[in-house]
C-alpha cells in the first residue's frame, strides 16, 4: 500500500497520467493498516465496464486508446527513478536474470497443493523457460515500470481516446521498463477481440494490432526495443504461472473449481501464445 502511494507521489508532474496522491498514512493504529487517499479520476474502465456509446461508435477513438496506452508506458520508462526519489525502490541489478528463476520456483511451490497435476498440465512451460534463459537480452538502464499494465488497469477519458489515468500501481518497481511493453502485448486481444483471459471489449474493430503498439512505443522511448518479443514471451510465462496458482489452490479445495479451470485454460493459452511467438 505504501509503495503504491510512494509511486503516485513521485509521478506528480511527470507526464504519466495517474491518480493524484492526497496523503498516505503508515500508522496502523488509525485504520488497522497502512492506507492512502488519492483523488477521484473521471474516466471509464474498458476492461471491466465496456465501451460507452461514444467510443463504441467511433473506431478512431478506439484506435487512439491503444496508442495512448503505448505512449504512457514509453514515457514512464523514460523517467529517471533517481530524479523521482525512487533510486531504492527496486533491485534493478540482475532484474532480468532473476525473472525466470523466480517464477520457476513459484511454479514448483504449487506442488504443496494436493491434487494439482503439476507442470505436466502446462506442456509449453519448460521449453519456454529454457528459451528465455538462452535468449535473455543484456541489462539496460534501470527504469520505473508499472508491473501489471493492461486494459483493465487504465481509465480512459469520456470525451476522447486519451488516458485519464493508469491505476493499480502496487506491482510497480525499478527494473527493465520493456517488461511493461511485453505485458501489454501478452494481454492484448487478438484482431477479432478474443483473448484467453476472457477479456471482452466490443466492438474491437478499430483497435490497433500488436505490431502498431510496438511501432508507436518505439516513437516515444529512448530504449532499444529490438528484443521486444522476448519481453512479451516473459510476460506470458510470468502471468501464466500466476494464474496457475489459482488452479493449484482449486485442486486442493482452496478456491472455486470453476475459477481454477478457467484460469488454467487461460494459462495454457498464454503459453501457447508465447510458443507461437518463439516459433515466429
pLDDT of 194 > 90? The answer is no
Average pLDDT over residues 185-191: 92
Q: How many helices (H) and strands (E) does the chain have?
A: 11, 6
Q: Name the pTM for this structure.
A: 0.94
State pLDDT tens for residues 26-72: 999 999 999 999 999 999 999 887 899 999 999 999 999 999 999 99
Helices (H), the chain: 2-10, 28-31, 46-49, 53-57, 59-78, 95-109, 125-134, 178-187, 210-220, 228-251, 257-279
Report which of residues 202 and 24 the model is more confident about: 24
Q: Quick check: 107 and 125 in contact, CB under 8 A?
A: yes
State pLDDT tens for residues 199-235: 678 899 999 999 999 999 999 999 999 999 999 999 9
**CATH top class, domain 2-279:** alpha beta
Q: Give the whole-angstrom CA distance, residue 250 versus residue 241.
A: 14
pLDDT of 95 > 70? The answer is yes
Amino acid at each position: 500500500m505504501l509503495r503504491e502511494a510512494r509511486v503516485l507521489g513521485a509521478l506528480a508532474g511527470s507526464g504519466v497520467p495517474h491518480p493524484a496522491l492526497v496523503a498516505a498514512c503508515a500508522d496502523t493504529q488509525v485504520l488497522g493498516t497502512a492506507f492512502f487517499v488519492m483523488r477521484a479520476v473521471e474516466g471509464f474502465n474498458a476492461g471491466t465496464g465496456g465501451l460507452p456509446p461514444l467510443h463504441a461508435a467511433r473506431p478512431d477513438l478506439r484506435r487512439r486508446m491503444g496508442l495512448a496506452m503505448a505512449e504512457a508506458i514509453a514515457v514512464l520508462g523514460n523517467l529517471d527513478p533517481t530524479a523521482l526519489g525512487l533510486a531504492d525502490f527496486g533491485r534493478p541489478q540482475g532484474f532480468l536474470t532473476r525473472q525466470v528463476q523466480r517464477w520457476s520456483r513459484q511454479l514448483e511451490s504449487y506442488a504443496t497443493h494436493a491434487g494439482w497435476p503439476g507442470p505436466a498440465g502446462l506442456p509449453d512451460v519448460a521449453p519456454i523457460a529454457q528459451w528465455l534463459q538462452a535468449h535473455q537480452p543484456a541489462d539496460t538502464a534501470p527504469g520505473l515500470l508499472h508491473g501489471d499494465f493492461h486494459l483493465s488497469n487504465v481509465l480512459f477519458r469520456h470525451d476522447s481516446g486519451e488516458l485519464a489515468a493508469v491505476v493499480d500501481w502496487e506491482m510497480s518497481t525499478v527494473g527493465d521498463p520493456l517488461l511493461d511493453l511485453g505485458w501489454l502485448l501478452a494481454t492484448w486481444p487478438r484482431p477479432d477481440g478474443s483473448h484467453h483471459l476472457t477479456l471482452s471489449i466490443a466492438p474491437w474493430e478499430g483497435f490497433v494490432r500488436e505490431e502498431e503498439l510496438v511501432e508507436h512505443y518505439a516513437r516515444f522511448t529512448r530504449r532499444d526495443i529490438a528484443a521486444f518479443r522476448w519481453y512479451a514471451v516473459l510476460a506470458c510465462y510470468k502471468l501464466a504461472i500466476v494464474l496457475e496458482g489459482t488452479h493449484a489452490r482449486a485442486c486442493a479445495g482452496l478456491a472455486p473449481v470453476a475459477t481454477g479451470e478457467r484460469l488454467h485454460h487461460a494459462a495454457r493459452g498464454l503459453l501457447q501464445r508465447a510458443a507461437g511467438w518463439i516459433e515466429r
